[in-house]
Amino acid sequence: MRIISANLNGIRSAAKKGFFDWLLDRSGADVLCIQETKAQIHQLDDAVFNPDSWHRHFFDAVKPGYAGTAIYSRQKPDAVRTGLGFEICDTQGRWIEAQFGDLTVVSLYLPSGSANDEAQARKDIFLGELMPMLKARQAAGEKLIICGDWNIAHKEIDIKNWKGNLKNSGFLPHEREWLTALFDDIGFVDAFRLIDQRPERYTWWSNRGQAYANNVGWRIDYHIISENLRERVQAADIYTDEKFSDHAPLIIDYAD
């Protein structure tokens, strides 16, 4: 099973750049988790957004043109659930999950805190709400693949200019410690790093300057999986041959 996570920074914009051509013709995907759709479902009636033989489910933000998540899959999910029961998540369409047998695949768009102190405070609230929920689901033995833009670079290897970003949202000590706790204390796993330990493997680049051309990036997109799926991770890649967004698609292959 190939699962792809992609922050598209606008699904309509990415479509114009050929994202769905790649998805259908070259990606080999079985499940696609999208973040930042920046659209309402009623705006996506064109055939390009509803390809044959694919099932699609959206969780739109209340505010038009903002945030939003979606899951596309070749197999029809047994169930789809949206939201986590708190305002920051549910009014902004930041969590959608699809169940396939005993496996649950999630598309998560964690808030950015880079705009100002208020934005960082909202991000911290989200993190505080999310952790006990993930702890409970891990303890229950669920098989979870949480794909998405987590908006945190975990370690120095995950960001080009780490010294210059120690005081910036996305690389703040308490954010990084939150991820460390998720991995070391709760038991979730960074699927990509099971396969690829190389530096300079980034998934997001600023649109400022020549960040993309010079690979001055951050790895803030993850497949974070429950411990019971560790042995099923087979391959991992970051797709950079084509540019659909300021993020690159993150591809992980799992054994059935």
Set 57, 72, 109, 158: catalytic member: 109
Known catalytic membership, residue 149: yes
87 is in an annotated binding site: no
225 φψ region: left (φ > 0), alpha (ψ -120 to 50), beta (else): beta
Set 30, 57, 72, 149: catalytic member: 149
Known catalytic membership, residue 52: no
Set 57, 154, 223, 247: catalytic member: 247
Dihedral sign, CA of 9, 217, 118, 97? positive
Known catalytic membership, residue 109: yes
Query: Burial letters for 46-60: b for 16+ Cβ neighbours within 10 Å, e otherwise?
Result: eeebeeeebeebbbb
What proportions of the chain, in percent to the nearest 5, are helix, strand and coil? 30, 25, 45
Number of Cβ within 10 Å of residue 213's Cβ equals 8
149 is in an annotated binding site: yes
Active site residues: 109, 149, 247
- Binding-site annotation, residues for Mg(2+): 7, 36, 149, 151, 246-247
Q: Binding site residues, as ranges?
A: 7, 36, 149, 151, 246-247
